[in-house]
Amino acid sequence: MAHLLSVDPFDRHAVERLFAVARGAEPVARRRKVCRALEGAVLGNLFFEASTRTRISFAAAFCRLGGSVCDTTGFTFSSMAKGESIQDTSRVISGYVDALVVRHPERGAVAQFAQATNIPVVNGGDGPGEHPSQALLDLYTIGNEFARLGKRLDGAHVALIGDLKHGRTVHSLIKLLSLYRGLRFTLIAPAGLEMPAELCEAVGARDHHIETRQVLRQPLKDLDVAYATRIQRERFTGEQPEGYTADFRVDKAFLDECCGETTVLMHPLPRDSTAGANDLSTDLDADPRLAIFRQSDSGVAVRMAIFATLLGAERQLQGPLRDVTWRTPSAIGPNDACSDMPSASIGA
């Protein structure tokens, strides 16, 4: 793997290999152990679009591997505001750093960064295109949740909910999930924001079953995963989605009435908490089925695995690691039942 631009090159084997590295990274990501595998290495974190968790979790992952991070956010303070090309920016920054993470509002722009350099480039989200590291951490989270629940991914029922047209996380995730066997997908989007037809065709061609709906509040039989997403208004080009009403809110009533006791509820975050947003509600925050913070926590180990793999340092995560020398909380958040390391295999 020279770059991580898309999930397309992954097969089940490659996914499992990466997740094995991520499991080795867990004690470091969870602040039990210290690792210096990338001591001396520098990451360039270039975010030309809004981000909180992706930028910080990539940076934290690189730092926890012993490396350092240089970053820039937005176009305003970058030389692109002076008309510099992607190619020049990429080549210049590659003279300073050992790996690049790039987020950009245009589909395909991160691949252009990769073409202009020999250092590894990770796609941190290219417009409505892909978000491969998010999909990998989503699948890793599903594997951890299923291992705890004694479920398997083959044959699972997964609902993807919200803006499936512009949501790059679901574009990458449905491709990754389709590597497994006999899944049932229920795709629930307001009219006008449906999953692109070419993605549905590619998934259907792998013998998965797809059902599409424009209404959220209907029973979802034997649902294993409900994956909600934000409506991406910043990417609208004239769309006026009808049907994106309060009925589309993913809340406790929806989970209790339409999903099951063991449905895992996920969201890539951020959830839009402004009035009328109808996104994932906060009335679920104490519900153990809500996996959103276990999901975001897992991002660090998965991103450590991505860097270690791209830079050929995987083996150093297997060796004996030093204990941390500072005090860390036993659970990270007040609603966390347990923030301990997932110990089971991915079970996917």
165 binds ligand NCD (CB under 6 A): no
* Smallest separation, CB 331 to ligand NCD (Å): 22
Closest residue (Cβ) to ligand NCD? 230
Interface characters, 214-233, with ligand NCD (x: CB under 6 A): ----------------x-x-
Q: Which is nearer to ligand NCD, 5 or 41 (CB)?
A: 5
- Write the DSSP string, 88-109: HHHHHHHTT-SEEEEEESSTTH
From candidates 24, 44, 120, 125, binder to ligand NCD by CB under 6 A: 125
Instruction: Using the structure block, give the residue that is written with the tokens 């180990």.
Output: 301
169 binds ligand NCD (CB under 6 A): yes
Q: Which is nearer to ligand NCD, 41 or 61 (CB)?
A: 61
Q: Which is nearer to ligand NCD, 51 or 112 (CB)?
A: 51
141 binds ligand NCD (CB under 6 A): no
Site for ligand NCD in 47-76 (CB under 6 A): 53-54
131 binds ligand NCD (CB under 6 A): yes
Q: Which is nearer to ligand NCD, 151 or 230 (CB)?
A: 230
Instruction: Using the structure block, give the residue that is written with the tokens 């210096």.
Output: 36
Q: Cβ contacts of residue 274 below 8 Å, gap of 6+? A: none
134 binds ligand NCD (CB under 6 A): yes
Using CB under 6 A, count the residues that bind ligand NCD: 11
> Residue 127 has what DSSP assignment?
T
102 binds ligand NCD (CB under 6 A): no
CA dihedral 298, 299, 304, 309 (to 10 degrees): 100
Cα distances from 260 to residues 141, 181, 201, in angstroms, run: 18, 22, 28
CA dihedral 118, 120, 126, 132 (to 10 degrees): 140
Cβ atoms of residues 90 and 111 within 8 Å: no
Which among 262, 261, 258 is positioned nearest to 250, based on CA atoms?
258
Residues that bind ligand NCD (CB under 6 A): 53-54, 125, 131, 134, 168-169, 230, 232, 268-269
